Each structure stands twice: as structure tokens, then as C-alpha cells.
Amino acid sequence: MILQQSGMTAAATGYKLYLVGGMIRDLLLDQTPEYDYDLVVVGDAGRFAMLLKKQFGGRLTFYPRYLTATLKLDDDTKIDLVTARREFYSKPAASPRVEASDLKDDLYRRDFTVNALACSLLPAESGLLYDYYNGYEDLQNRLIRVFHPNSFRDDPLRIIRAVRFEQRHAFTIEKKTYAFMEEAIKAETLALVSSERLAREVKNVYLEPYPVRVLERLRDLGVVINR
């Protein structure tokens, strides 16, 4: 109901709106998704978030530096909204500079192709899947693939995320992606990540169905996260 109503609101106000990321991945894997919603808005996500707050109520938080907003409803459902954007990293593990763009660029900035699927929420094209980077094929082949060689250097936490998905879904890390990841591990890029961000990602490890497997795999890869 939330998605349907949000799509109707977008259509009535001239926005393009898409569901993206993990919920699509999990539904295509016939797994029960977590009902937190990641939405991409082509336009101003903050303004659109205010429209949803009028419709659904809840508490709204803005993150203008990153062109994002989060609406937390009274039942604790969370709706993350991001202006379709592209990112630029000045150095490894740095906070990115962002600028508004289109859906294709927004999907390209994501961690893995299997998380770069988008589904339109507009009533006129409801359910239409956007797959610019062969994410559906990788999902069917159970492959974890990054978009470019610097992916793990831009955000070293993707190393941990790749292993989490590998162990959770019995995926395989694609050959080139594995090589890029090994290079980032040898360069000790995770040491550049702030303690706060690292702690959040490690917390997610312990929320996995098989956290010990994740930790053992990271250890075997030479990843040190105790700091």
C-alpha cells in the first residue's frame, strides 16, 4: 500500500519514483524482504519526502549534503528517499561529492549489480524493471559483481558487504571482483574507514543468519576489523 500510494503521489506531482536495492533482490530470490523501503526520486527527494509526510505522517530527517531524506512512520517502517545522483570520490574511503543526475547514474554508484535493479512505482508503468547493468542475470547466476576496479577503494566497507551477501545467499564473488577486493585488502583500505562507520557494518555482520561464517571468511581473506 505504501509503494502504491507513493507512486500515485509521484505521478500526480510530476516526479519519477523507483523502488531500488535489497527488497527487489530478495523478492526475485523468493526470500522474505525486510520492509524498509529504498526509493529513488528523479527530482528533489527532500521535497517529495515532505509530500509523503503529509500523506503518511511520521518523522522526517533530511541529509542535504547527500540529497537524501528518511521518513520513519509511526509503526517504525522506514522510507529512505534519495535524489537520483552520481558520486565522486577524491580519495579512498572519502565521503563522496554528489550531484543530481538520472536513474542510470544512480544505479551505477551502488555496491553490486544485484543491488542495482530498480522497479518503477508510477501507475502507468507499475512493476517495470530497470536493469541497466545485467543485475538480474548476475542474480540468476548467484554472482557478486562490482561496477569498476575502484569500487572497493571508493568504499572499503563493500569488502565486508560482499562477504555478507556471499555467505547469506551462497553466492560466488565474480573473478574480477574478487581480484579487485584482494587488492583493496592488501592495500589495507579498511583502515581508512572511520571507527563509527566500521562499527555499523560489523553490527550488520552479527545480524546475518550465519555471522560466524562471515567472520571466518573475512579472517581467511586477511581482513582485520578489530579496532
DSSP code of residue 114:
G
Q: Over the chain, what is the mean pLDDT?
A: 95
CA distance 142 to 51: 38
CA distance 58 to 56: 7
pTM of the model: 0.93
**List of domains in the chain:** 1-139 (3.30.460.10), 142-227 (1.10.110.30)
Which residue from 120, 46, 118 is spatially nearest to 79, judged by alpha carbons? 46
144: confidence class by pLDDT, cuts 50, 70, 90: very high
- For the segment 156-162, the average pLDDT, to the nearest whole number, is 98
